[in-house]
Structure 1
Amino acid sequence: MVKVLDSYDAFKAATSTDKLVVIDFWATWCGPCKVIGPVFEKLEPTFPDLEFFKCDVDDQEQIAGEVGIKAMPTFAFYKNGEKVGTVVGADPNKLRDALKHHSEASA
């Protein structure tokens, strides 16, 4: 199940592990976010070695600012506290390819 990052502390805890983490940065008013959100959630079981999170940029401005979110949706990949990749936009194929790439790279 995709977890919600509801605080800066939760973000820091989630991204500081040695497990590969992917975060969907989205907003309630973002049309493309509404389209790709369910796709993101359906992809989670396909990649059991990744941790899936969602972060509402309006609710968590501190996180969005630190990550440097400029467009939604943005999918950011983290491992050991470092950002290791980003996908911007609501392209299911680009998202799936990035998940596959990072999943294989972390194996």
Structure 2
Amino acid sequence: MEKLQSVQQFTQLANSENVIFMFTAGWCPDCRVIDPIMPDIEEKFSDYTFVSVDRDEFIDLCIEKDIYGIPSFLGFREGDEQGRFVSRDRKTQEEIESFISNLSK
């Protein structure tokens, strides 16, 4: 999974392709729980680009996008938010896959 480098990159990716942003942090235990399953999810949903967003590095972006719990996911397609899976709860592989499957295409 590629890591977000700048807010400009966020805007560019959100406006140009099918992308899922995963908001995370190095200190987040629930984020570490899903790290091992993310490669399988990325492979299953290869029509999306997956981008990791470090919550601590991009706190202003998190505030702008109403991301107050991690791990959280935002799905974008050509500039439009297609869906969000935002909460403080631990997420299972099945829940993440269900979220992605239900995004508008």
TM-score range, shorter chain: 0.7 to 0.9
Residue 29 of structure 1 corresponds to 27
The Cα of 1:82 is off from its aligned counterpart by: 2.0
Partner of 2:92: 91
Letter matched to residue 4 of structure 1: K
TM-score, normalised by the number of residues in structure 1:
0.86
- Give the aligned partner of residue 3 of structure 2: 4
Identity percentage of aligned residues: 25
TM-score, reference length from structure 2: 0.87
- Aligned partner of 1:38: which letter? P
- From 17, 41, 44, the counterpart of 2:42: 44
**How many residue pairs end up in the alignment?**
102
TM-fit CA distance, 1:33: 0.5
Please list every run of 5 or more consecutive structure 2 residues that lacks an aligned counterpart in the other structure.
none
Counterpart in 1 of 2:102?
101
The offset of 1:40, in angstroms, is 1.9
Report 1:43-62 matches (<5 A): 43-62=41-60
Which amino acid is the alignment partner of residue 49 of structure 2? E
Are the equivalent residues in 2 in contact too, given 1:11–1:63 (CA < 8 A)? no
Q: Where in structure 1 are there 5+ consecutive unaligned residues?
A: none
Deviations 1:4-63 (A, max 9, x none): 11210111111011x221111011111100111221232111112111110001011222
